[in-house]
Structure 1
């Protein structure tokens, strides 16, 4: 048997390419991509006469490429991307070539006209090299060309005829992507751009010197999804015709010289999720109908000449999740209370405007805020205490306003706050000493002459000693104290009397379900005391059948437990209690929440009382990490994969390895809890069904009637009365997996009619996978987190689409790593999520197969060093 295919992709190979490979003449496919190979390409590889697929990208290879490799008529795919190769491109003779990738090397010289011999080309990538000169006329001879990427070369000379070659490209009727960013192109963008392929979805011309106006004819490219014209010299107004691009999702016009008003027609771009128009000379008011762009996640229109009030329709657009930047304009009026609708926003930047009034208290509803910049306005009043609800806040700048009153002391309790600027206001009173206030290099309180105290390094004056209270007030307090003591004594006597009366009465005995290991003498009183009477201050969650409280039952052990108290007024709650006890009494698995005991008794009023006591999960639920207190910023890729594997492991155990087997029936992020080592544990078995190996499907034990999960996660067949099944759990797991990696809930308001989370992911992968991945996940793959809104814009601009390299801070190495993470880790995980959430139960994967495949993905991802391993995990 002859060796024909040799594939060593992502195998951590080191050393050089063995010259002996050139002796295996039967090889047709040779792939060594994404390893750590060094040295040059052996010239003897040119002897491989049948070689059709040669891929050695993403290594550390260098030197010259043997000319013979450019003259193989058998070659279909030729990729050398992201190495350190040098030299010019020799004459090509590859009539069957379909893919040619040379990006990320040090090639120089002109692009040879002999490229026309490769008339079957479908994808061409010469980006990030040192090519010079105009494109040859042959670029009009590629009828099958779909992707053309020439980013970051020097193909222009900042002259008037630099873009003349566009008329040749109009012959390429199948073009989908054109990227010509950062090439020193000058001149004007010709009207012939409107004659480009009707299939064109992505057009990038950013980072050049293109001048004059943006052609109105751009509106004819009605399949455009991404349009990047940032960092040029465009003048004039933004064409209203851009509003015709109904499929547009990304529009970058930043860093030009555009003037006039923002056209209201942009409100027609209902699919838009990125809008960047900062650093122009735009004027007038912000069109309110931008609020019709219900998918907008990031908008930056800073550093312009915009004026008027902030439209409530825009500031209240709940889809904003990454950035809203209105800074350095001339906006007036108040900050609308609709700002509280920005539940998922990470960065809100409105500094250097003319806003007045107070900072609205409702801003505390922006629970995902990490960066809040309101400096340089005319805000008055006090600093709202509602800011304390922003538990993920990292940067807060309220300087250069007219704020007064005291600094809220609890600001020092914000756990992630690392920069605080309150300078140049009218604040007074004692400065806090804890938290961020201990680090004088991280705070600024200058220009507040009435402040005192604080840490010594601040050199603030000492706070005055409090004057003793007046005698009259002292006498009043004394009388009040005496009265209070008397009343308390009477109340205490009544309580003692009631206690002994109850002691003599019969109470219902504890009735725990057998086989559960109980804590000794757990009663209603035992659970009532550590939760302060089940007070709201100790409540850590709530659900359909009750609430969960934290408390310490055994003071000596000092172990915190979670106490789930059933609301027995809710229909089905009692059955839920029985089901959960039955489900949990015999199961033991590291990825299931451990039950400690249960209580079935009466409360102090003689009412039935039922509760379950679990181990407390210190890191809360997956729901909180994904969507609430900004903690999703610290859930990196490996942590998400670990959680996915943990939940899959738990379901494998429930479905196939415990007796009786169990169907959970309610898999969702709020039922996935995380312990102090970030190990995921599945909880809440209130809807669980038990399946004995001796039962048929008609004998499935149901915990509650008519309840089979949560909307968005419940399998579609349940709506027609189908009994719960393992496939139903698989469906819920698939939805959870898609949610973890896209950051979108299945009940997101964008999902209407036939569009759901499954279809949303399915129609965008693999080609547009970057557009759907949770930005907070992509941010964890970057070497350092962005500290300013502008860095975030640049960062997302690069990683939203790897072929628009207009940001200086995105280098080739990080770009290639990002591609590796997405294609090797995230994409296959999303495919598993799709396979699990198929509409037909028979088409879904089993949890055993899911568990196995996710383990393989995790192993592959750790091989590319995606992030730090969490403690206690293998």
Structure 2
């Protein structure tokens, strides 16, 4: 603005000059206004373009985006006060779907773009690189694909770049290093590859880096040590290799540090607690880190979360937790924290008494040896989760455990606890899961167990508990799963237990000494899915009340003394998949409803007194789906069963004219029989087609398996053989349940044939003691190479080999060895004698015997299997036949594979399990073998060769002789099965019966 003096000067000039200057000022103002309006117009059209590419707006947030309102008043829009230009576009979590318009790049005054948690698709427009004023770009939790645009480097003022949880691929562009002001880079949960680039270390302003759950690969660059302001670092599940650079441990401002589920090796610096004093969250689980867990972690006084589980840390746990007063979760499972000499590995518990915020303590499978100290009762009243399973803890369970009144989960399974279950357990009234299984607890279950009114699951199986099952369990009104199997309970099944409507998952009372009949109250368990009552002394008829348990899928009544008929009312169990009623005294004809049950996958009627004609339809049309061994009065059935023909029904005494039969009845009967034959054949073929179509050919893709195993990471590798590698993983479709994924090494000679053999074997078999196959994959990988894999049910307790030859497990596999051997023999009996085509396994050994949650054995790995009488996998004299030490001697001279060869392998397996000696042990030389070693001990020196932990029984002097007789009988079986001459080896069906008899004797001692 001009001063008054200037105006006076102008007034003395000519009118023309006045007019000229006036016009100039007007033009200047007009130009400024025009420019301003043009900028607003640009923003307006850019926003309209954004809206036009939205296909779904469920919350109608864009309805205000119309000409009735100025765009600065539109929902989600913020504008500057001076120029009325768009400075922020915030539409977080509005359910929007569609593409992101490239015209957003015209909002040149934009400082914040937040479209997080929507469903935007397509690529990120490279035009966003024009937004040089942009400070925050939030595109996380969408469905963006493609690569990270390189010209985002044009956003030179960018402070936070959040692209996590999308479908972005490719590598991190090198232009990212130009974002010198970037303090937060979040790219987690994408498909980024190409490693963590060293040039990121140039962004020295970095405070937050999150790249977790990307298949990046590579190692952690040392240059990241330049991030002196870094507070949070997340690179878990990135397929990282190598060691953690020492420069990372110099980032003293670090608060949260996570590198979980990678392949990192090496040890942690001893001074980590002094170098990273601000740590609040330390997560390095599921790696291959080793060495001692540094005691200096005690100096991380702010630490609230410590997770080092599933590594190779060793040495005694010496962290002084008393200084970590803010710690709330300690997860150290899957390491080896046993001290070299002393058996007091649990002494660290004393230092936890000051940790009043502790809610979770996990130390399972850590090889801890010692007693659980009384000071356990001094742990935090806030403690909710205590898991010390799979260790070597011994002694009694201290009664002070009852002081942990905040517990919802208590897992102490698979240890060596003895003595009684303390009555103080009844004080844990918030408890929802109690696992004391696989120990040596004795005495009765305390009645106080009934005080646990919130209990969901109770596992007490595989102990030495005695007495009656307490009726007070009927007070546990939330109980949905109960396993009391493999104990010494006697008396009747309490009615109160069967009146729990909450009992829906499983009830396992098998392998006890229960007597009496099944109470009629069983009818109240209408929603129960699995019922196991096998191997007790239950008697009487099978109650028709079972017919009201309409949700049953598995029903095991075998190994009892039930008599009479199978009640026809059981036909109402329309969901039943597996029915075992073998080894009873049942009689009469096989009810017709069994052949009509469509849901039935396996039926075992063996060793009863059934009579009459065996059906040939339904489950009885496939010999692999049922067993009727030991029923000598049965006739007919499938030809492969070789049962006697049924006697023709008819009577000559009535004098029916033969010529009428020939002329009238015979043709009609012939037509009917032909129709029935064609119908059965069609149904049989349909079933076979269904089996192979719906089960075998239900494929999963290579990418699914890649994702399920974390890129086939070493951390998920659970086994490796000549033809394959086996990984643990979780399929998206499998409700977060683990599966075992066997990936064939197709470059190895014989691997493809192994795959075909296993496919053909699994196509024809199904049995409780065989590993269950889920699906298969025959595809190509991302490099175009052939890829083949098989997906099996995951066996959480590993292999028999692991249990036999691991110091952490051997002492706990005692009487179960006999049960496992019985299971394996039963599986072989099924393969050899019950399948339509005899199947030879060909590679029976401890590593191929897998154990489920209940320590039931499952035979797996049919890669060398052979179906006798077929052309599949015909082995030449030079072919691979079994494993050294387990393969019979005749295979070594070129003989074909036979079922007798499997029997030999079983004999060696039995002797190994009973003696603890591998057939390839160094002691077996100069003509001495495992077979001879055992044979020479018969009959008077068997105790000298038996593994000390093979039979652990509290036997009196009166029973000692019985135990020794059983051991002699077992070794005789192993020796008889492993003789050199195939015809002289014991028949596998005799082995099954003998082992069951021995097991019954031992369980009653």
TM-score, with length taken from structure 1: 0.55
Asked whether the 8 Å contact 1:349–1:789 carries over to 2, the reply is no
Q: Does 1:135 align with 2:317?
A: yes
Q: CA deviation at 1:787?
A: 5.5
Q: CA deviation at 1:439?
A: 2.0
1:164-213 per-position Cα deviation (integer Å, ceiling 9, x unaligned) = 11111112111111111111111211101111111111111111111111
> In the alignment, what sits opposite 1:120?
302
Q: CA deviation at 1:461?
A: 1.1
Q: CA deviation at 1:795?
A: 7.6
Give 1:59-78 correspondences, 5 Å limit.
59-78=238-257
Give 1:22-41 correspondences, 5 Å limit.
22-41=201-220
> In the alignment, what sits opposite 1:19?
198
> In the alignment, what sits opposite 2:287?
105
Q: Is the alpha carbon distance of 1:215 and 1:794 closer, same or farther for their aligned partners in structure 2, counting shifts above 3 Å? A: farther
1:136-164 per-position Cα deviation (integer Å, ceiling 9, x unaligned) = 24322101000001101110148432111
1:300-353 per-position Cα deviation (integer Å, ceiling 9, x unaligned) = 111011000000111232212221110100000001122222222222111100
Asked whether the 8 Å contact 2:738–2:794 carries over to 1, the reply is no
> In the alignment, what sits opposite 1:600?
none
Q: CA deviation at 1:413?
A: 2.6
> In the alignment, what sits opposite 2:188?
9
Asked whether the 8 Å contact 2:397–2:421 carries over to 1, the reply is yes
> In the alignment, what sits opposite 1:50?
229
1:630-657 per-position Cα deviation (integer Å, ceiling 9, x unaligned) = xxx9xx9x9xxxxxxxxxxxxxxxxxxx
Asked whether the 8 Å contact 2:297–2:319 carries over to 1, the reply is no
Q: Is the alpha carbon distance of 1:134 and 1:298 closer, same or farther for their aligned partners in structure 2, counting shifts above 3 Å? A: same
> In the alignment, what sits opposite 1:317?
500
Asked whether the 8 Å contact 1:370–1:394 carries over to 2, the reply is yes
> In the alignment, what sits opposite 1:440?
623
Q: CA deviation at 1:14?
A: 2.4
> In the alignment, what sits opposite 2:529?
346
Asked whether the 8 Å contact 1:347–1:789 carries over to 2, the reply is no
Q: Does 1:431 align with 2:614?
A: yes
Provide the C-alpha distance between the structure 2 equivalents of 1:229 and 1:353, rounded to a whole number of angstroms.
27
Provide the C-alpha distance between the structure 2 equivalents of 1:415 and 1:348, rounded to a whole number of angstroms.
20
Asked whether the 8 Å contact 1:325–1:789 carries over to 2, the reply is no
Give 1:281-320 correspondences, 5 Å limit.
281-320=464-503
Q: CA deviation at 1:794?
A: 10
Q: CA deviation at 1:229?
A: 0.8
Q: Is the alpha carbon distance of 1:468 and 1:159 closer, same or farther for their aligned partners in structure 2, counting shifts above 3 Å? A: farther
Provide the C-alpha distance between the structure 2 equivalents of 1:781 and 1:81, rounded to a whole number of angstroms.
19
> In the alignment, what sits opposite 1:382?
565
Q: Is the alpha carbon distance of 1:809 and 1:80 closer, same or farther for their aligned partners in structure 2, counting shifts above 3 Å? A: farther
Give 1:160-171 correspondences, 5 Å limit.
160-171=343-354
Provide the C-alpha distance between the structure 1 equivalents of 2:797 and 2:409, rounded to a whole number of angstroms.
11
1:229-261 per-position Cα deviation (integer Å, ceiling 9, x unaligned) = 111111110000000100001111111111000
Q: Is the alpha carbon distance of 1:328 and 1:143 closer, same or farther for their aligned partners in structure 2, counting shifts above 3 Å? A: same
Provide the C-alpha distance between the structure 1 equivalents of 2:572 and 2:515, rounded to a whole number of angstroms.
27
> In the alignment, what sits opposite 2:429?
246
Secondary structure at 1:49 match in 2: coil
Asked whether the 8 Å contact 1:234–1:257 carries over to 2, the reply is yes
Provide the C-alpha distance between the structure 1 equivalents of 2:490 and 2:541, rounded to a whole number of angstroms.
19
Q: Is the alpha carbon distance of 1:35 and 1:345 closer, same or farther for their aligned partners in structure 2, counting shifts above 3 Å? A: farther
Question: May I ask how many residue pairs the two structures share in their alignment?
Answer: 509
Asked whether the 8 Å contact 1:240–1:265 carries over to 2, the reply is yes
Q: Does 1:184 align with 2:367?
A: yes
Provide the C-alpha distance between the structure 1 equivalents of 2:425 and 2:517, rounded to a whole number of angstroms.
31
Provide the C-alpha distance between the structure 1 equivalents of 2:186 and 2:570, rounded to a whole number of angstroms.
55
- Deviation larger for 252-261 or 380-389: 380-389
> In the alignment, what sits opposite 2:331?
149
Q: Does 1:272 align with 2:475?
A: no
Contiguous gaps of at least 5 residues in structure 2: 1-156, 160-181, 658-694, 701-732, 742-765, 773-791, 799-807, 813-849, 854-1005
Asked whether the 8 Å contact 1:323–1:789 carries over to 2, the reply is no
Q: Which one has the largest radius of gyration?
A: 2
Contiguous gaps of at least 5 residues in structure 1: 475-632, 639-775, 799-804, 812-874
Secondary structure at 1:312 match in 2: coil
> In the alignment, what sits opposite 1:542?
none
Asked whether the 8 Å contact 1:347–1:370 carries over to 2, the reply is yes
Q: CA deviation at 1:26?
A: 2.2
Secondary structure at 1:106 match in 2: coil
Asked whether the 8 Å contact 1:80–1:102 carries over to 2, the reply is yes
Provide the C-alpha distance between the structure 2 equivalents of 1:70 and 1:786, rounded to a whole number of angstroms.
53
1:89 to 253, 265, 268: 268
Provide the C-alpha distance between the structure 1 equivalents of 2:216 and 2:475, rounded to a whole number of angstroms.
51
Q: Is the alpha carbon distance of 1:97 and 1:473 closer, same or farther for their aligned partners in structure 2, counting shifts above 3 Å? A: farther
Q: CA deviation at 1:70?
A: 2.0
Q: CA deviation at 1:810?
A: 9.7
Query: With CA pairs under 8 Å and 6+ residues apart, which has the higher RCO, 1 or 2?
Result: 1
Asked whether the 8 Å contact 1:308–1:331 carries over to 2, the reply is yes
Provide the C-alpha distance between the structure 2 equivalents of 1:788 and 1:46, rounded to a whole number of angstroms.
54
Provide the C-alpha distance between the structure 1 equivalents of 2:398 and 2:206, rounded to a whole number of angstroms.
50
Q: CA deviation at 1:781?
A: 6.2
Provide the C-alpha distance between the structure 2 equivalents of 1:77 and 1:183, rounded to a whole number of angstroms.
25
Secondary structure at 1:380 match in 2: strand
Secondary structure at 2:419 match in 1: coil
Q: Is the alpha carbon distance of 1:465 and 1:75 closer, same or farther for their aligned partners in structure 2, counting shifts above 3 Å? A: same
Asked whether the 8 Å contact 2:411–2:436 carries over to 1, the reply is yes
Q: Is the alpha carbon distance of 1:254 and 1:435 closer, same or farther for their aligned partners in structure 2, counting shifts above 3 Å? A: same
Give 1:673-692 correspondences, 5 Å limit.
none
Asked whether the 8 Å contact 2:294–2:319 carries over to 1, the reply is no
Give 1:492-571 correspondences, 5 Å limit.
none
Provide the C-alpha distance between the structure 1 equivalents of 2:210 and 2:334, rounded to a whole number of angstroms.
26
Provide the C-alpha distance between the structure 2 equivalents of 1:174 and 1:103, rounded to a whole number of angstroms.
22
> In the alignment, what sits opposite 1:355?
538
RMSD after superposition: 3.3
Asked whether the 8 Å contact 2:602–2:626 carries over to 1, the reply is yes
1:679-704 per-position Cα deviation (integer Å, ceiling 9, x unaligned) = xxxxxxxxxxxxxxxxxxxxxxxxxx
Asked whether the 8 Å contact 2:796–2:851 carries over to 1, the reply is no
2:395 to 205, 208, 212: 212
Q: CA deviation at 1:793?
A: 14
Q: CA deviation at 1:462?
A: 1.2
1:261 to 428, 439, 444: 444
Provide the C-alpha distance between the structure 2 equivalents of 1:398 and 1:391, rounded to a whole number of angstroms.
17
Provide the C-alpha distance between the structure 1 equivalents of 2:372 and 2:771, rounded to a whole number of angstroms.
27
Q: Is the alpha carbon distance of 1:788 and 1:292 closer, same or farther for their aligned partners in structure 2, counting shifts above 3 Å? A: farther
Q: Does 1:328 align with 2:515?
A: no
Q: Is the alpha carbon distance of 1:202 and 1:790 closer, same or farther for their aligned partners in structure 2, counting shifts above 3 Å? A: farther
Q: CA deviation at 1:471?
A: 6.1
> In the alignment, what sits opposite 1:612?
none
Q: Is the alpha carbon distance of 1:368 and 1:261 closer, same or farther for their aligned partners in structure 2, counting shifts above 3 Å? A: same
Asked whether the 8 Å contact 2:289–2:313 carries over to 1, the reply is yes
Asked whether the 8 Å contact 2:369–2:394 carries over to 1, the reply is yes
Q: Is the alpha carbon distance of 1:360 and 1:28 closer, same or farther for their aligned partners in structure 2, counting shifts above 3 Å? A: same
1:590-644 per-position Cα deviation (integer Å, ceiling 9, x unaligned) = xxxxxxxxxxxxxxxxxxxxxxxxxxxxxxxxxxxxxxxxxxx9xx9x9xxxxxx
> In the alignment, what sits opposite 2:355?
172
Asked whether the 8 Å contact 1:357–1:380 carries over to 2, the reply is yes
Secondary structure at 1:212 match in 2: strand
1:770-806 per-position Cα deviation (integer Å, ceiling 9, x unaligned) = xxxxxx97476645999689999998999xxxxxx99
